[in-house]
Homo-oligomer: A and B are copies of this chain.
Amino acid sequence: MAEMDWKHTIRDLKGVVLDMCGVLYDSGEGDGVAIDGSIEAVKRLKASDLQLRFCTNETQATREKFVAKLGRLGFDICVDEVFSPAPAAVTILKERGLRPHLLVHDDVVPEFDAVEKTDPNCVIIGDAADNFSYQNLNKAFQVLIGLEKPVLFSLGRGRYYKEMDGLKLDVGVYMKALEYACDVEAEVVGKPSPVFFQSVLADMGIQPSQALMIGDDLVNDVGGAQSCGMRGLLVKTGKYSYRWCLRPQFQKVTAVTPSAAAHAFMPRRLSVATSLSDHSELFMVTEEKPRDESSCTDACIDSVPGDVTRLTQWVQNL
C-alpha cells in the first residue's frame, strides 16, 4: 500500500520543495557551510523537468540577503523561488489591518518596512537569537498582556536548529513562553502551517499530490507537507542525527542525504550514477502525519533498508 502510494507520487511528480537550513547548508559563523552534495542536488533538480521551490522558516535575514549568502556558498537560487515567513506575515498584517510589535532579528526588520508599527495591536516573534533578552521578551509580553484580545504571530514553531558550534534554540521555544505567559495560542506563520505550503503549491500551479517536500524536520517539513496532501521525505543532515539517533526505535532506521534524494526522485533517475555509494544510509519515509516528534514510532515509519544504489533500485522498481 505504501509502495503503491509512492509509485503514484513518483509517476505524477511535478515539483520538489526543498527546506534550506540543514538540507542545503549548515548555519554558523559567517555564511555557514554547504552540505556535501547539496549544491549538485539543486543543479540536478533545476536541470530536470521538475519545478523547484525553496521553503524556509529562516527569519534572521531578508530574502535578498539570505539568497545572496546562499549564492556565496555556491547555490544558484533566485529570490522569487524562496518562500519565507516574514513576507507571508506582512500579507496577513495588511489583510487584517494589524500593527505589529516586532521581536525579531535585526536583519529581518526591513521585510516589515511597509507596515505601520506605532500603537501596536499584535506581536510578531521570529528567530531573534541574541535579541531574545529578558528585557525584550518582557516588552513583547507587556504589549500582549495589555491588549484586550492578545494576538501573537510566530514565524515558525521550531524547537532548535543546528549551527556549526552546536544546537541553538529556535523561535518555537519563545512562542511557547509567551503563550504560557499570556494564556493565548499563537498563530504560526511559516512551516508547518498548511496555508504556507499551499502558497508554494499555488506558485508552482500544481496539486499537492504532485509535490514532494524534502527537509530535516519531521514535524515542520514532513508533517507540514503531509497535512496538505504532499509527500514528505526526511534527510539525514542538519538537526536530524542529533536528536533521533539516541532513540532505540530509530537506531536501525535513518534517512538519505539531500543529494541522494535528488538522485532518486528526479524523473531522469535512471541516469543516477554510483558516485554516492559512500552514503550507505537507509531510507526513511513517514507514512502518517506526525503530531509531534515523540509520537513517531516504528508504526508510522516505512523503512527501506539499503544504500543509495538499492534506494535507486527501489524507486525504479516501483
> Which A residues lie at the B interface, using CB under 8 A?
128-135, 137-138, 141-142, 145, 148, 159-160, 166-169, 172-174, 176-181, 183, 242-243, 246, 292-294
Shortest CB-to-CB span from A243 to chain B, Å, is: 8
Expressed in whole angstroms, the Cα–Cα distance for A300 and B176 within the complex equals: 28
Instruction: Tell me whether A134 and B180 are in contact in the complex, defined as CB-CB below 8 angstroms, given that A141-B160, A148-B246 are known contacts.
Output: no
Give the residues in chain B near A169, CB-CB below 8 Å: 134, 137-138, 141, 177, 181
What's the nearest-Cβ distance from chain B to residue A296, in Å?
Answer: 11
Cβ contact within 8 Å between A138 and B168: yes
Residues of B within 8 A of A167 (CB): 141-142, 145
- Copy tally for this chain in the complex stands at 2
Q: Give the residues in chain B near A129, CB-CB below 8 Å.
A: 134
Provide the bound-state CA to CA distance between A178 and B177, in Å.
Answer: 9
A173 touches which one: B135, B148, B159, B180 (CB < 8 A)? Answer: B180
| Chain B residues whose C-beta falls within 8 Å of the C-beta of A173 in the assembled complex | 137, 141, 177-178, 180-181
Closest to A172 in B: B180
A95 vs B301: C-alpha distance when bound (angstroms): 41
- Nearest residue in B to A136 (C-beta to C-beta)? B134
Q: Which residue of B lies closest to A166 (CB)?
A: B142
A292 CA to B294 CA in the complex, in Å?
25
Q: How far is the CB of A121 from chain B (nearest CB, A)?
A: 16
Considering the complex, give the chain B residue whose CB is closest to the CB of A141.
B169
Which B residues are CB-close (under 8 A) to A148?
Answer: 246
Q: How far is the CA of A176 from the CA of B137 in the complex (A)?
A: 14
Q: In angstroms, how far is the closest chain B Cβ from the Cβ of A104?
A: 13
Q: Report the separation of the CA atoms of residues A129 and B172 in the bound assembly, to the nearest whole angstrom.
A: 20
Closest B residue by C-beta to A148: B246
17 A-B residue contacts at CB 8 Å? A130-B133, A130-B134, A130-B135, A131-B134, A132-B133, A133-B134, A137-B169, A141-B160, A145-B160, A159-B181, A169-B177, A172-B180, A173-B178, A174-B177, A176-B179, A177-B177, A183-B294
Is the pair A159, B130 in contact by a Cβ cutoff of 8 Å? no
The CA-CA distance from A102 to B292 in the complex, in Å, is: 29
A173 to B137, CA, bound (A): 10
Complex CA gap A145/B242 in Å reads 9
A173 to B142, CA, bound (A): 14
Complex Cα gap A222–B172 (Å): 31
Q: Please, which residues of chain B bring their CB within 8 A of the CB of A142?
A: 166-167
Q: Closest CB of chain B to A190's CB: distance in Å?
A: 17
The one of B137, B160, B181, B183 in contact with A132, judged by C-beta atoms closer than 8 angstroms, is B137
Closest B residue by C-beta to A292: B183
- Distance in angstroms between the alpha carbons of A148 and B247 in the assembled complex: 10
Residues on the B chain within 8 Å of A138, using CB: 168-169
Residue among A178, A179, A180 facing the most chain B CB atoms (10 A cut-off): A180
